Amino acid sequence: MRYANVYFVIGTAYAGKSTLVKNLAKVHDGIALEENYHDRRLPELDSKEFPNITYTRDLQDWHEFIRRTPDEYCTWIDNVKKECEIVELQIIDEILEDPENRTKKIFVDTNISLETLHKISDNRHVLVMLSDPDISVSRFFDRPDPEKQFLYQLMLEEPDPKEALDNYREILTRINSKESYNTLKTSGFEVILRDENRSQKETVRLAEEVFGI
């Protein structure tokens, strides 16, 4: 299998994917490809080939970003994931081309689809991490990272901030739907559910059991 030393982590927001990837790489002296690692390629991507990934790169007025309807936003997200998959696999392939990396374990917080993961990997190399879908909606603006706070401030600048916030919450509700959650849960890959009482070390051990490492 080409990706014999690559371990993919997929799932919902707030499930701890990037934290796990980082911790696994540290414990196993491996390589961590954390959330949105494809962004390193963003400056060089052709907008004709990757119109959805480059949408935010080339955006002139960010208010347009938050004014999109839930339908428009969800369609964009779906297309972003398809384009991300192409870029992510290119990055992984380039890492594997370096002889020094071929024996290293690579841990990936990924956007790669379940369908593709079933084709290129197996149950010993893919882990699904899930959190309650409601958490992704209710806690979205609680996170301190600059991107989310930037979006929040944009909404407060709108003529009707409440309407803007309600619209974005509807977007988040659709993206983090129960249907999407169930699709991941029944994917055939091993699942780890978010548990506030479980330590990071314990989560690492659970993942190691899944991966057989």
Distance of alpha carbon 25 from alpha carbon 3, whole angstroms: 16
Considering the domain boundaries, does residue 127 fall inside one? yes
Range of the domain at 186: 6-211
Task: Please provide the average confidence, as pLDDT, over all residues in the chain.
Answer: 94
Residue 137: both structure tokens together: 């909606």
In degrees rounded to 5, what are phi and psi of residue 106? Answer: -115, 125
Q: What is the CATH number of the domain that holds 172?
A: 3.40.50.300
Contacts of 161 by beta carbon, 8 Å cutoff, 6+ apart? 155
Considering the domain boundaries, does residue 17 fall inside one? yes
What is the predicted pLDDT for the residue at 145?
Answer: 77
> How many structural domains is the chain composed of?
1
* 151-189 per-position pLDDT tens digit: 999 999 999 999 999 999 999 999 999 999 999 999 999
Considering the domain boundaries, does residue 158 fall inside one? yes
Torsion of CA 56, 96, 89, 3, to 10 degrees: -140
Task: Let me know: does 181 contact 133? Beta carbons within 8 Å.
Answer: yes
pTM across the whole model: 0.92
3-state secondary structure (DSSP) of residue 46: coil
* 21-32 per-position pLDDT tens digit: 999 999 999 999
Considering the domain boundaries, does residue 197 fall inside one? yes
Category of 159 on φ-ψ map: left (φ > 0), alpha (ψ -120 to 50) or beta:
alpha
Does the pLDDT at position 63 exceed 90?
A: yes
> What is the distance in angstroms between the CA of the first residue and the CA of the last residue of the chain?
17
Considering the domain boundaries, does residue 120 fall inside one? yes
Task: Let me know: does 9 contact 108? Beta carbons within 8 Å.
Answer: yes
Considering the domain boundaries, does residue 142 fall inside one? yes
* 44-54 per-position pLDDT tens digit: 999 999 999 99
Considering the domain boundaries, does residue 1 fall inside one? no
Considering the domain boundaries, does residue 174 fall inside one? yes
